[in-house]
Structure 1
Amino acid sequence: MRITAKCLATTSLVLVTTAFALPSWAADVDATSAIDTVTVYPDGATVTRIITVDLPSGDSTLVAKDFPLGLDTSSIRVEGEGGAKLTIGTIDARTPRAAPVNLPELDKRIEALNDQRADLQGAIDSANARRKFAEHFAEASPAGIGDKGEARPIAEWRTAFAAVGEEIASADTAVRDATRKMREIDRQIAQLEVERKAKPPSKLEVRMDIAAPAAAKATLRVTYNVRNARWLPLYDARLDTGAKDRKPQLELVRRAEITQSTGEDWSNITLGVSTVRVSRGGSAPELGSLVAQYPQPPKPMALGAASDLARPAPTVRQRSAQFEPMSKLAEAPEPRERADEQQAVAEIGDFQATFKIPGRVSLGAAEGAKAHRFDERARRPRGARSARNGLDCLPRSQLQADR
């Protein structure tokens, strides 16, 4: 007996210990994210979304269902901070599974429901006809005169009144019941029509396992790469060939033309462009050349040449303009301030250059290209000179001036 008791006590202790050692299931916490920062590359972009959520104590799974389908799932990174020490665990991205749609089966069910609805409508029409007939009988039949003009007994009046009332009540009940059934059938048909026209999911679901020792408010930053975005360099080159009182000068304005078709709108974001090519990795870039030429100015003609004789005589308006009072010519124009164009801020690193666009901008999906200015530089051309961007990691442009 003692041995049996010891065994039972040991078994109970093991069961209790196992019960306390079982892990608790993580609760799903729905969250929404908003795009905060985007860095565009020549062959892609890096997007950072912000998630602000109230986390419960213990393990929880954060579920965000507003990520684009075209993101690179292997590039997802999560970081953040909160009111308590957070531990970020597994990150999983999955496409929401849409239930397979069997169109022939749905069509059969919709057809059967429409047949039931037609039967109910027939029952309603029949009940309304019975009610109308009962009402017409009550109005048209003589109330107190028999076939030979004698008065009918009171009992027959009551029987007639009861028969008319029962018929009208029965018709009303049939109409109400059929109407309720038709309403339910209409709901089922509408639901089936929605299933029939259901579109495949357009967003990606991202799940993040997070552990918090206590309930806290957390801010998470989720970063990922997308492919359907790019920027191209644009150059505005203005060449002044110079004169006696000024030297030749080349003015070069650099811009970035940005386009994206990632399936999500970039609204009110911090935007930047980088010279890094994601697909190229660490391989050296291929440098190209751009050649810009300008036409030679016409040579001055000799005095008294035949072309001078062929020129038309000045008109009366031109002659009068030559003798305008000097007071009008001496009038100074009203001073006007030149508008400045917003310019990006350059952050130069060892292997890349990143240009941050000031403020916040918006760029919709498949909206078209938007150009932003980098900087403006003035150089003095000397024969055939290479006008470089000033950064080893930027593309080069070869400008050739024939003198």
Structure 2
Amino acid sequence: MTNKRNHTPICTLIFVAFFLFSLPISLNAQQTLESINQALRYSRYSRLALKIIPVQENDRTFVLQMPIEKIEEDIEFETYQFAFAVLSGFQDSIDEQNLIPLSKEDLKGNTDFHFFFEKRVQIPEDQQVAIAFLQAIDTRQGDVYYYHIDLISPFVLGHPNFWAYYNDRVPFDQSFVLKNEALEFKGRSGVNLHAFHYPTIFEAPLPPMEIRPANVPKEITVNYEGEFFLNTPKSFGKDGYYFIQADTNSTNGMLVKTVHESFPKVKDYEEMVEMVVYISTRREHEALREAKDKKLALDQYWIGMVKDEESAKKVIREYFKQIEFANILFTDFKEGWKTDRGMVYTVMGPPNEVFFRPNGEIWSYFTGDSNSKITFTFARVKNILTPNYYILNRSRALQPEWFKSITSWRNAQMVF
């Protein structure tokens, strides 16, 4: 995957790269989780995707599994500098005093698709908050990738003492799996796990300026699917999501959502109709839903909206590329495009700034006609299924820029 960049003289790039990497890590001494811009995590042109998966051995001991997906092809380990840390809060300095370098000798696995590190950490008894942090620096142009996850905090109920793995022994580093595709679960204790199935189907979220409460199902169906053994392949054949537990008296578990074989891309015209809800009027969307021939209705919809066939093809390509990335980045028990973050990402594009707080995530977009920016704030909500559940703080003040972005889509003027 290539990276889009402004044209800069090669000599300047060489000098900057040499300058950046001849400096010690202490250059980042004042950086904290609150101050670093993590927009690269959501970029369409990222070359790596970092993840930390904590396996909890006891209240204070964790095995940090750190799979790093190789998005760029033919990647060499030496292209990046890797380091990790365990922080006691969002205001801890990220510097050489707490960053632990990861070398090639630390690799637990190196496959066609992943680098994989694993480290065991012990959290002091008097430490109230513990956050695992992973960093990768691209030595070619200085891009810095980050990932973090709470080990101990008010927003997590605990982590499972088991995990799922691909057939190459790399930890399962996403929340979704193709229906009937097998994963292998490995644990630190016990011989079997329990599976609970939730067949729930979710609607697309309300737009950012809609402040009335969203419809919430009064009841959620859950079916106990029984026990299955560790260390044997396990597949999931029903639509919805599964919650896997070692101890049914605990809140700790692992979320697995089943998806169709085309996911994260769109499956068919029926699904396309649902996905265009964000840039359609209510009347347009109702007409698409009621149409008997969805393909014909969609063709007429795009041409009628954009007025030009080539421009329509461009909009379709870009819009469903956004859907694909939203599904990759934000799927939990909902498809990524149906989450609040996925909705904003689809319509507004990748954010220019992403800042994390203990209780939320803040996205900013630079507006084209001034130095101002529009900000979307996502509140973090404690959830048994995932430690990364966020809900948008809706406001009528978001309406002007939201409608402006929708107009750009409908006029084939959206550019990322």
TM-score bracket for the superposition, by shorter chain length: under 0.3
TM-score, normalisation: structure 1: 0.23
Structure number with the higher strand fraction is 1
Larger RCO, structures 1/2 (Cα 8 Å, 6+ apart): 1
TM-score, normalisation: structure 2: 0.23
